[in-house]
Amino acid sequence: MQSLIRRDDSGYRAQTEEILRRWIIEGRFAPGERLNEVDLARELGISRGPLREALQRLAASGLVTLVSHRGAFVRTFSRREIADLFELRIALEEMAAGLAAERITDQEATDLLSTMAGLSDQMSQSGPGPYPHGVDLHHRIAELSRNAVLVSHLSEVHAHLTLARAMSGSRPERAVDAMAEHEAIVRAIASRDRVSARERMGDHLRHAMTSSLSSVPLDD
């Protein structure tokens, strides 16, 4: 079988970590599922050495749990942990929205409004259903903050929340409200209204947190 890992200077461990991170976040493995080292090494076309190093790195970043004598498992999250992640996300994304409103250029504002209009059209044409995929509006707003450290931290929080929310499933009925909330955020940023951008982002994410937690069992 052809290896998924390139034989170049980027390193087997780094490539393996990136592939496994993507597979976990995309939902290939369910929360709590055991990651079979033999099967993964065979599929990736590598030895178990760099695979184990990659799993250790993923455990350090909080996406994998290592259990002595049992192996590696995709992390699961308690209700409290999900709430904690959302609280951190709210703080970071409110900051990102405020900075974006301060630093956005005229052309970027036009492009952001155009992107939002395109998403709205997609939802109108498809009818009731999940939020349109293909454009990560939150990531774009973070980029517009022009704060690379903030973008990096938000990327990690988003990865954890994507995995955590897989435990509760999605609620398509939230999509219409989320679209309206995104439109309000984008209008505030494009208008360079820093205060409103922060407020609209905070309101949106608090609603998202409530929706996500509504189907997560109470902690013991």
**pLDDT (tens digit per residue) in 69-103:** 999 999 999 999 999 999 999 999 999 999 999 99
Q: What is the pLDDT of residue 55?
A: 95
Contact yes or no for 190/109 (Cβ under 8 A): yes
- For 201, residues 6+ apart whose C-beta sits below 8 A from its C-beta are 90, 93, 94, 96, 97, 141, 185
Sign, Cα dihedral of 192, 196, 202, 208: negative
DSSP assignment string, 103-146? H--HHHHHHHHHHHHHHHHHHHHH-SSSPPPS--HHHHHHHHTT
DSSP state of 89: H
Two structure tokens written together for 99 = 């900075």
Integer angstrom CA distances of residue 21 from 37, 56, 78, 145: 15, 12, 20, 25
pTM of the model: 0.81
**pLDDT (tens digit per residue) in 49-78:** 889 999 999 999 999 999 999 999 999 999
Sign, Cα dihedral of 183, 189, 192, 197: positive
Strand partners, 34: 73
Q: Which helix (H) or strand (E) holds 66?
A: strand 64-67
Q: Is the pLDDT of residue 38 over 80?
A: yes
**pLDDT (tens digit per residue) in 165-201:** 776 555 666 788 899 999 999 999 999 999 999 999 9
Average the pLDDT over each of 185-189, 200-204, 211-215 and give the range with the smallest value. Answer: 211-215
**Res. 47 pLDDT band, cuts 50 70 90:** confident
**Comparing C-alpha atoms, which of 64, 56, 54, 63 is closest to residue 18?**
54
